[in-house]
């Protein structure tokens, strides 16, 4: 029931959207909220010193200190709001090189019911942009991604489920059950659906046994416009939350986002709960 929530507080971008959503959700669910901010150590200057034979240890220490200061500044913003809201919370800061940051926070996220992150912003170069993908594929739990244009708390009164009958969609559905149970309206969005044992009709029956009334919105569109079609339905129906599987494939031992998932990362307009 999302009793134990983690939120990543960006240190290089505005954290307001995730702070507002995380605190409001913590209040509504009577949960405990932990926040983590990461300060990223730059390896560029250190590399230049290695080539020139400079004092590497001193530079590394100074760079780590600057990274820690950035993390401390970010977490301080969260702590002010958490204290004002009088919620149960904890906070943590990490100074790490970018290659290790994703591994660190993903391991931490495995202990929580859900992790809240900020949508990447391609127009702003930041290592914070890499964190959501790392958490999605490596945490083993649901990730609530908040658009960087979002304002205010999460509105989960109308929830949309992007359903294709896959294992990943089923995983996200189960992870989102606390939201579905509390929603006033739930819509299953079935794009280019084919008949099968895990059809949207069967899903409606399954959710009905839990007392969740569902309607189905069936769409047919080109494969390249699936994400756009889903977001159009969400906007037209005024959905406040989307639920979908987070797809990816392995390339040279690195997990790469699938097409629809990548498009959602880039162009989402509504908070999305994803699971892999």
- According to DSSP, the β-strands at 4-9 and 32-40 are parallel
| Both tokens assigned to 154 | 């999460």
Q: Where is average pLDDT lowest: 116-120, 135-139, 164-168, 249-253?
A: 249-253
Each residue of 52-94: pLDDT tens digit?
A: 555 667 677 888 999 999 999 999 999 999 999 999 999 999 9
* 226 contact partners, CB below 8 Å, separation of at least 6: 191, 192, 259, 260, 263
Question: Are the CB atoms for 258 and 247 separated by under 8 Å?
Answer: yes
pTM, two decimals, is 0.91
Task: Return the pLDDT at 204.
Answer: 94
Rounded-to-integer distance, Cα 219 and Cα 269, Å:
19
Question: Are the CB atoms for 270 and 239 separated by under 8 Å?
Answer: yes
pLDDT-based confidence at residue 184 (cuts at 50, 70, 90): very high
Rounded-to-integer distance, Cα 101 and Cα 81, Å:
25
Task: Return the pLDDT at 139.
Answer: 95
What is the CB neighbour count within 10 angstroms for residue 241?
A: 23
Q: Please report which helix (H) or strand (E) contains residue 168, including its range.
A: helix 167-175
Question: Are the CB atoms for 157 and 240 separated by under 8 Å?
Answer: yes
Each residue of 225-254: pLDDT tens digit?
A: 888 899 999 999 999 999 999 987 666 556
């Amino acid at each position: 029931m999302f009793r134990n929530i983690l939120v990543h507080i960006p240190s290089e971008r505005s954290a307001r959207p995730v702070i507002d959503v995380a605190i409001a959700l913590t209040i509504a669910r009577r949960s405990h909220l932990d926040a983590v901010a990461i300060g990223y150590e730059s390896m560029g200057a250190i590399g230049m010193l290695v080539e020139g034979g400079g004092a590497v240890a001193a530079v590394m220490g100074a760079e780590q200190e600057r990274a820690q200061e950035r993390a401390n500044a970010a977490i301080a913003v969260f702590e002010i709001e958490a204290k004002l809201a009088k919620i149960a919370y904890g906070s943590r800061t990490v100074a790490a090189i970018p290659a290790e940051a994703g591994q660190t926070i993903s391991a931490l996220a495995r202990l929580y019911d859900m992790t809240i992150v900020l949508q990447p912003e391609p127009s702003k170069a930041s290592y914070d942009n890499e964190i959501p993908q790392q958490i999605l594929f490596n945490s083993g739990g649901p990730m609530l991604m908040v658009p960087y244009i979002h304002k205010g708390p999460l509105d989960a009164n109308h929830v949309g489920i992007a359903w294709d009958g896959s294992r990943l969609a089923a995983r996200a559905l189960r992870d989102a059950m606390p939201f579905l149970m509390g929603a006033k309206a739930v819509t299953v969005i079935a794009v280019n659906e084919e008949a099968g044992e895990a059809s949207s009709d069967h899903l409606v029956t399954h959710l009905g046994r839990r007392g969740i009334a569902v309607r189905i919105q069936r769409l047919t569109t080109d494969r390249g416009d699936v994400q756009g079609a889903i977001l159009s339905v969400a906007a037209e129906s005024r959905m406040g939350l989307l639920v979908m599987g987070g797809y990816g494939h392995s390339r040279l031992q690195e997990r790469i986002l699938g097409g629809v998932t990548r498009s959602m990362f880039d162009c989402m307009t509504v908070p999305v709960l994803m699971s892999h």
